[in-house]
Amino acid sequence: MKIIQIVGFKNSGKTSLSTELIRSLVSNGFRTASLKHHGHGGEPLGLENTDSYKQQQAGAIVAGVEGSGMFQLKHVNGWNMEQLIAIYRLFNIDVLVIEGFKYENHPKIVLINNKEELSLLKQLTNIIAVVSAVSMEESSISFPVFSYDQIEKLCLFYIEHYVVN
pLDDT the model gives residue 124: 95
- The domain that holds 126 is classified in CATH as 3.40.50.300
Give Cβ neighbours of residue 55 (< 8 Å, ≥ 6 apart).
Answer: 63
> What angle do helix axes 14-27 and 151-158 make, rounded to 10 degrees?
50
Q: Give the chain's domain count.
A: 1
119 φ, ψ (degrees, to nearest 5): -60, -25
Question: In a 10 Å sphere around its CB, with 0-12 CB exposed, 13-18 middle and 19+ buried, how is residue 149 labelled?
Answer: exposed
Per-residue pLDDT, 138: 63
Position 64 scores a pLDDT of 81
For the question of whether the overall pTM of this predicted structure is more than 0.75, the answer is yes
Residue 74, Cβ density class (10 Å: 0-12 exposed, 13-18 middle, ≥19 buried):
buried
Q: State the CB neighbour count (10 A cutoff) for residue 17.
A: 23
State which residues form the domain around 36. Answer: 2-163
Q: What is the pLDDT of residue 48?
A: 67
- pLDDT of 165 reads 73
Per-residue model confidence as pLDDT tens for the chain (165 residues) = 999 999 999 989 999 999 999 999 999 999 999 998 865 455 555 556 777 777 777 887 887 888 888 888 888 888 999 999 999 999 999 999 999 899 999 999 999 999 999 989 999 999 999 999 998 776 678 889 999 999 999 999 999 999 997
Number of C-beta neighbours around residue 102 at 10 A: 20
